[in-house]
Amino acid sequence: MTVSEKKSFYVTTPIYYVNSAPHIGHAYTTVAGDVLTRWHRQKGESVWYLTGTDEHGQKIMRSAQENGENPQAWVDRLVDNDWKPNWRDLNIANDDFIRTTEKRHTERVQRFLQSLKDSGYIYAGDYEGLYCVGCEEFKLPGDLTERSGKQICNIHEKPVEMVKENNWFFKLSAFVDPLLKLYAEHPETCQPESARNEVISFLQSGLTDLSISRSTFDWGIPVPWDTNQVVYVWFDALLNYATAVGLGDDPQSEGGKKFVQTWPADVHLVGKEILRFHAVIWPAMLMAAGLDTPKKVFAHGWLLVGGEKMSKSKLTGIAPRDITDHFGVDAFRYYFLRAIPFGTDGSFSWEDMHARYTSELANDFGNLASRLAAMVNKYCDGVLPSVSHDAGLERFLAETVAKADAAICELDFQGGILAIMEFCKRVNGYVTEKEPWILAKNPANEPLLREVLYNTAEALRALAVLLHSVMPATCEILWDSLGANQSIGPIADQLISEVAKWGQLPQGALITKSAILFPRLEVSA
């Protein structure tokens, strides 16, 4: 791999536990990261997008045992049969996939841990406390609810376990003031505001040192100076964002150069239930090592089904294919970022998705593309007329690009998509107002008819580029239908900064009828 000197726009998802197959909550985060990175690629930026799997810890070990497999065979099978294929099916264009059982990760974790110990940030101690295996987290009293004499985890709603071990500890308590200073001076590093306020409140209550090893089981990375213990799964997992891009490698090596090019991460996308790990423990680890902290940790909300968080343990874990088999992959990608403001909780319902699919995708977008292709073929033998201009559409497009770019770069996916779809509605209104099917009845109106057809095609050219990050496969079909591959070049090479330049489709481009972009669907699956 040749590494350029240009700083990459680096985006990560959480690495997901592989104790079961992925559900749409996992897909929601990963699609969001994919849309964000595709958009930045079309801004002409160098981009690096990382996702992966978290394969150590007690929860994974127990899941493997319950299924009669050793942990490594269990995670290998799930990654190969469920996780990687799921991201391919959803058209995720990640640049790397990190597994915490990989040699490149384990060796870099051990090296990082040794450096912290050598710097005096790690010491031996005894730990006794309540532990949630589902969260892989030692719990505080405020994280628990008492029921029938048992302490219940508020997230997994299962009893926690009392753990007593001789462990190694990280001096997390030393970083209260540095972290508070970070968020006071750089509030953008923890978003949205509600998430940052939660973190600040947590920090103001004080921190205790963190147990970073486990001695009662062996499924994990061995502590380099004490191989009878394994690294606490979260301390191991959080480091993936840096180990994947060469943490600790010689600066002159390929890995070392990649680290310089990539670090710090521009955006860590996380679910709000793991915010404290990413906005408290993770930056403290980096500070201890003298490394730059991430530019932004963004905690999105939960996907809810029947008012409950998406979860396999609660049987609300809908598989992505349950939805994509009916609506299609691009409709799936569109719906979750369009329907739910990123950063807040949102409810999924089949009925709402069907309504938006029909109204916005089939009627507004898909029908516009179908009508344009049909009219150009009927009235112009499939050949695009000469370049024309409509001041109103051009002005609206320029405003749309500015709004969408600002919104998506701030992770307001809903706002960006809404701006683009408002332009789509404006183009539909333009066609309805101009009535090209009426103009075609009178030969004297042919110049005006050709203007309307060109302007509609050019507007669809812009819509294809603007929606490409959200619905890549559909927009590539539309792009090809407009003859743009031959006349302009690949859609992935089109820059956001150039979208609003009117008149890019040349006279003579061949407009072809494609398959219906969004076929009509039955009300229920």
**Would you put residue 223 in left (φ > 0), alpha (ψ -120 to 50) or beta?**
beta
Which is the catalytic residue, given 40, 105, 132, 354? 132
Which is the catalytic residue, given 156, 158, 295, 326? 156
Which is the catalytic residue, given 40, 59, 105, 153? 153
Burial environment of residue 205 by CB neighbours within 10 A (0 to 12, 13 to 18, 19 or more): exposed
Establish whether 135 is a catalytic residue: yes
Q: Tell me which residue has tokens 């909780």.
A: 345
At a CB cut-off of 8 Å and minimum separation 6, what does 443 contact?
Answer: none
Which is the catalytic residue, given 117, 312, 326, 513? 312
Compute the distance between CA of residue 221 and CA of residue 525 in angstroms, rounded to an integer. Answer: 45
Which is the catalytic residue, given 40, 59, 135, 354? 135
Tokens describing residue 173? 């308590």
Which is the catalytic residue, given 26, 40, 268, 354? 26
Compute the distance between CA of residue 451 and CA of residue 455 in angstroms, rounded to an integer. Answer: 6
Establish whether 312 is a catalytic residue: yes
**Omega cis (within 30) before 490:** no
Establish whether 26 is a catalytic residue: yes
In terms of Cα–Cα distance, which of 309, 344, 339, 336 is closest to 192?
344
Establish whether 190 is a catalytic residue: no
Compute the distance between CA of residue 249 and CA of residue 148 in angstroms, rounded to an integer. Answer: 52
**Angle at Cα 94 formed by Cα 92 and Cα 100, nearest 5°?**
115
Which is the catalytic residue, given 23, 257, 272, 403? 23
Print burial letters for 231-255: b (CB count within 10 Å at least 16), e (below 16).
Answer: bbbbbbbbbbbbbbbbbbbeeeeeb
Establish whether 156 is a catalytic residue: yes
In terms of Cα–Cα distance, which of 477, 463, 467 is closest to 505?
463
Establish whether 132 is a catalytic residue: yes
Which is the catalytic residue, given 309, 354, 403, 434? 309
Distance of CA 49 to the CA centre of its chain: 9
At a CB cut-off of 8 Å and minimum separation 6, what does 186 contact?
Answer: none
Establish whether 475 is a catalytic residue: no
In terms of Cα–Cα distance, which of 513, 518, 482, 476 is closest to 366?
518
The DSSP letter of residue 253 is S
Residues 244, 98: contact at Cβ < 8 Å? yes
Residues 212, 171: contact at Cβ < 8 Å? no
Longest dimension (CA), the chain: 91
Q: Which residues participate in catalysis according to the annotation? A: 23, 26, 132, 135, 153, 156, 309, 312
